[in-house]
Amino acid sequence: MRFVVAVLFVALGIWVALPSRNVQGNPAFEERTGQCSQPDGTIVRLYQGNGGATTSFWYSVTTKPWLLMPERQVAYSYSTPAWYSVSCGKDGIVLSGSGGTLVLPADEVEERRAAPLTYIYGNREITPRSFGMFDVVRIGIGFLIVIAGSPTVLWRRRRWRTTVDPHAA
């Protein structure tokens, strides 16, 4: 039982240390509103985020090229434009919404996985993936959880039994 708990600690620590799919927005507050597949098999997903009464809605578009590749954000919009649907084609990803139609060309999608196209109140920016303070905290917490569980996984606890010689006086 102790071994199972230790393995779960190690797995939890690794999961905490892995990066999020998003550069902008919190995946915990997002709901998937659309999905399509590109001709090469890449899955494209559209999410709507809602942080509560004091924030605007945000919209996040992610791609997942194949089974072992992580899902990554390629486009993000805070407040405007609002994206309501996503469609895929050989020309790229088509986002439709309040600001009209936005086409993310197919040859630009892989580049956007590293630096997502970002709209903040309608102003266009390119936001590169960066290593910030939150990443340091996240990796540190993951490392501590792994450290808490690894001794039991790596080293077996030996039980030393003392033998009592009945003839010893």
Per-residue model confidence as pLDDT tens digits over 107-138: 999 999 988 999 999 999 877 776 666 677 77
The answer on 121 and 48 residing in a single domain is yes
pTM of the predicted structure, to 2 decimals:
0.72
- Mean pLDDT (the chain) is 84
Number of domains in the chain: 2
**pLDDT-based confidence at 8, cuts 50/70/90?**
confident
- Are residues 72 and 140 part of one domain? no
Same-domain status, 89 and 62: yes
Look at residue 154 and tell me whether its pLDDT is greater than 70.
no
Domain that holds residue 15: 1-20+132-153
Question: Both 15 and 47 in a single domain?
Answer: no
* In a domain? residue 118: yes
For residues 95 and 41, what is the distance between their CA atoms, to the nearest angstrom? 18
Residues paired with residue 44 on neighbouring β-strands, in sequence order: 36, 63
Note the pLDDT tens digit of each residue in 54-64: 789 999 999 99
Domain-located, residue 163 = no
Specify whether 139 is located in the same domain as 65.
no
Strand partners, 73: 62
| pLDDT tier at 45, thresholds 50, 70, 90 | very high
* Residue 146 forms part of a structural domain: yes
Res. 158: pLDDT tops 60: no
Same domain? 123 vs 136: no
Q: Give yes or no: residues 31 and 66 share one domain.
A: yes
Q: Could you give phi then psi for residue 103, rounded to 5 degrees?
A: -110, 125
User: Stretch 147-167: mean pLDDT, rounded?
Assistant: 63
